[in-house]
């Protein structure tokens, strides 16, 4: 059973994405900000994929990705970030920070699951 860690400050998104993933058979871990998430990664939580929003109060998504990539256990973990069509420029930044790919919001359940299938090892 693969575990997917979702980070977003919007409860609506957390809820809807986790509902889709749970239904698809994944174990879901959730955090509503970067700091919380990083703490749990440092604690060695089991995660096969991280999906994070970029714009969050406190520690934003880019910082989270950079920090997580430093941790030995997650050096090669696929990381997706949530973005919108208009944020093309941030993709390069996020890639430089160590992200694997992105999900364009609003993502349909199919897009979400397909992209996950592509990047999960």
Partner 1 sequence: MDELLAVFVQESREQLQALEAGLIALDRGEHDPDTLNGVFRAAHTIKGGAGVVECDFIVEFTHVVENTLDALRNGSRELSPPLIAALLQCSDHLSDLLDLLEQSATPDAECLARGQQRLANLGNPTTPTPTPTAAATPPVAANSDRHWHISVRFGLDTLRHGMDPVSFLHYLEEMGEIVGLATIYDQLPALAEYDPEGCYLGFEIDYASTADKASIERVFDFVRDDCLLHIIPPDSKVDDFIHLIEQLPETPPRIGEILVQVGALTEKELQQALHTQSQLPHDDDHPAPKVGEILVEHHHVPPQLVEAAAGKQGKLQAGQNHTLRIQADKLDKLIDLVGELVIAGASARLLAREIGQTRLSRVTQIMSRLVEEIRDSALELRMVQIGETFNRFHRVVRDLSHELNKEVELNISGAETELDKSVVEKISDPLMHLVRNAIDHGIESPEQRLAAGKPARGKIGFNAYHDSGSIVIEVRDDGAGVNRQKVLKRAIERGLVSANQSLSDTEILNLLLEPGFSTADKVSNVSGRGVGMDVVKRNIQSLRGRIDMESVEGQGSRFMIRLPLTLAIIDGFHVAIAASTYILPLDSVVRCLEFKDAASDRDYLDFGGEALPFVRLRDLFRIDAPMPPRQNVIVVQYAGQKAGLVVDQLLGESQTVIKPLSSMFQHMRGIGGATILGSGEVALILDVQALVQLAATRETDSLSVQREPAVNQPA
Partner 2 sequence: MFKPAQDLTIYHVAALKQQLEQYLAQSPSDMILDVSAVQDMDSAGLQFLLLTQQEAGRRQLKHALHQPTVAIKQQLAFLRLTPVFTFEE
Give residues with Cβ within 8 angstroms of 48, minimum separation 6.
Answer: 2, 3, 4, 77, 78, 120, 121
Nearer to partner 2, 55 or 101 (CB): 101
Nearer to partner 2, 117 or 121 (CB): 121
Considering only CA atoms, give the Rg of the chain: 13
24 part of the interface to partner 1, by CB under 8 A: no
Nearer to partner 1, 11 or 70 (CB): 70
Two structure tokens written together for 109: 């359940």
85 interface partner picked from partner 2, partner 1, none, CB below 5 to 8 A per type: none
CB under 8 A: which stretch of 3-11, 16-24, 70-78, 79-87 binds partner 2? 70-78
Residue 26: how many CA atoms within 13 Å on its side-chain side?
24
Strand partners, 64: none
119 part of the interface to partner 1, by CB under 8 A: yes
Interacting residues toward partner 2 by CB under 8 A: 73, 75-76, 121
């Amino acid at each position: 059973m693969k575990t997917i860690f979702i980070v977003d400050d919007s409860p609506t998104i957390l809820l809807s994405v986790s509902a889709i993933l749970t239904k698809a058979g994944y174990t879901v871990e959730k955090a509503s900000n970067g700091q919380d998430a990083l703490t749990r990664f440092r604690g060695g939580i089991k995660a096969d994929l991280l999906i994070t929003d970029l714009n969050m109060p406190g520690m934003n998504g880019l910082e989270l990705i950079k920090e997580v990539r430093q941790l030995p256990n997650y050096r090669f973990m696929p990381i997706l970030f949530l973005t919108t069509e208009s944020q093309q420029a941030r993709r390069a930044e996020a890639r430089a920070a160590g992200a694997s790919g992105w999900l364009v919001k609003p993502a349909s359940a199919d897009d979400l699951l397909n992209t996950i299938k592509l990047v999960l090892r």
